[in-house]
Every structure is written in C-alpha cells, then in structure tokens.
C-alpha cells in the first residue's frame, strides 16, 4: 500500500487547524488503500522520507523562507533522498501573516532539486484560516493521496 507522509511544523492554533485539514484530506474516504503517516517536521527524518511514496508539506513562513523545522528535515534527508525519491508526488501549503512567496519558493527549490513532482499548486494562507482555506488544504492533500492511489495501486 502506498504511504503518504504529511509533514508539518505546528506552533500555533492556526497552523494546527491547517495541519489537521491536511491529515483529513490525505485520509479522505474518497481514496482507498493509501496509508497516511503524519509527522512533525522536527521529529521526521530520512527514514520517514525514504519510506513514503508521496509528501504533503506544511510550514509557516519565517523571514521569507520555510520554517527552520522544515529546513532541518530537508537537511537531514536531502542526500539520502537524492536519486532515491525522484518523481514522487508532493504538494505544499504555507501559512503567514503577510507574504508567503519566499517560503513557497524555498520549498519548491529543494523539492525540485530532489526531483519531486508537484501535483497541486501551493496553497498560501495569510492570517486566520477561513473555512475556504481549510477546504483548500484538504483538497490539496486529497490530490496527493489520489495521485498515489491512481499510480501505485
Ligand atoms: C520569526 C518570524 C518570522 C516570520 N516571517 C514571516 C514572513 O516572512 N512572512 C509571513 O507572511 N509571515 C511571517 N511570520 C508569521 C508566521 O508565519 C506566523 O506567525 C505563523 O504562520 C503562525 O501564524 P499565527 O501566528 O497567525 O498563528 C513570521 C513569524 C515569526 C515568528
């Protein structure tokens, strides 16, 4: 059964709501036979990345970049994953207070260097997450799950 890793850095209620939405979307009843594993970015490492078949990434924007927690994850798993995880599907959501563009770009650069395949446009949420934002993150995560189900089962 393909495994979907939902990776997040959660330091506030807004981020918690978005991470919950990501896990809900990844586990949608509309997609069968995909195992969902949710991990805080600070507790995840190369084994988690290698053992997954696709990724849903979530991070706050921090000084125009991804969070240090997600960067730490990538620092740990970059070389083990390089050449071993190419073409795996992923999608990204970012939360910020004003401007998430730099954070989105920073993650996309690393994902692209690893050869990961973006299967949904990034979802950027600014300020308190609205119902539509939570739904957008659910839909994003469900898209990665559906991609795995279609391609691997
Ligand atoms: C050190 C620091 C840097 C931040 N940098 C950015 C930034 O570059 N762009 C942005 O939109 N938000 C930025 N933020 C806001 C965080 O993304 C935001 O606090 C986080 O997503 C949690 O949201 P909340 O505080 O509304 O719950 C920053 C916050 C901190 C603490």
Closest CA to 45 of 75, 23, 25, 19: 75
Per residue in 68-95, pLDDT (tens digit) is 999 999 999 999 999 999 999 999 999 9
CATH fold group of domain 3-152: Rossmann fold (3.40.50)
The average pLDDT across 140-151 equals 98
Tens digit of pLDDT for each residue in 33-55? 999 999 999 999 999 999 999 99
Residue 46 contacts residue 81 (beta carbons within 8 Å): yes
Q: What are the structural domain ranges in the chain?
A: 3-152
Neighbours of 75 (CB within 10 A): 11
Specify the pLDDT at position 113: 98
Q: What is the pTM of this model?
A: 0.98
Distance between Cα 92 and ligand 1 center (Å): 16
- Check residue 140 and give its pLDDT: 98
Residue 96 CB less than 6 A away from ligand 1:
yes
Percent with pLDDT over 90 in the chain = 99
* DSSP track, 102-142: HHHHHHHHHHHHHT-EE-SPPEEEESSPPHHHHHHHHHHHH
pLDDT at position 153: 79
User: Residue of the nearest CA to atom 18 in ligand 1?
Assistant: 96
Distances (CA, A) of 8 to 15, 83, 119: 9, 23, 18
CA distance 153 to 143: 15
Count of Cβ atoms closer than 10 Å to residue 21 Cβ: 24
For residue 14 and ligand 1, the question of a CB distance below 6 A is answered with: yes
Distances (CA, A) of 45 to 51, 76, 79, 80: 10, 6, 12, 10
**Does 12 sit in the ligand 1 pocket, CB within 6 Å?**
yes
Atom of ligand 1 nearest to the CA of 126: 11
Q: Whose CA is nearest to atom 28 of ligand 1?
A: 62
């Amino acid at each position: 059964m393909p495994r979907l890793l939902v990776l997040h850095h959660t330091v506030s209620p807004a981020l918690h709501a978005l991470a919950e939405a990501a896990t809900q979307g990844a586990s949608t009843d509309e997609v069968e036979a995909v195992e969902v594993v949710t991990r805080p970015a600070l507790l995840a490492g190369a084994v988690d990345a290698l053992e997954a078949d696709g990724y849903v990434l979530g991070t706050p924007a921090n000084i125009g970049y991804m969070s240090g927690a997600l960067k730490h994850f990538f620092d740990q798993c970059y070389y083990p994953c390089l050449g071993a995880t190419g073409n795996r599907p992923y999608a990204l959501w970012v939360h910020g207070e004003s401007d998430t563009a730099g954070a989105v770009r920073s993650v996309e650069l690393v994902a692209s260097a690893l050869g990961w395949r973006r299967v949904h446009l990034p979802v950027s949420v600014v300020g308190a997450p609205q119902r539509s934002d939570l739904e957008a993150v659910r839909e994003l995560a469900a898209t990665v799950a559906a991609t795995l189900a279609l391609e691997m089962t």
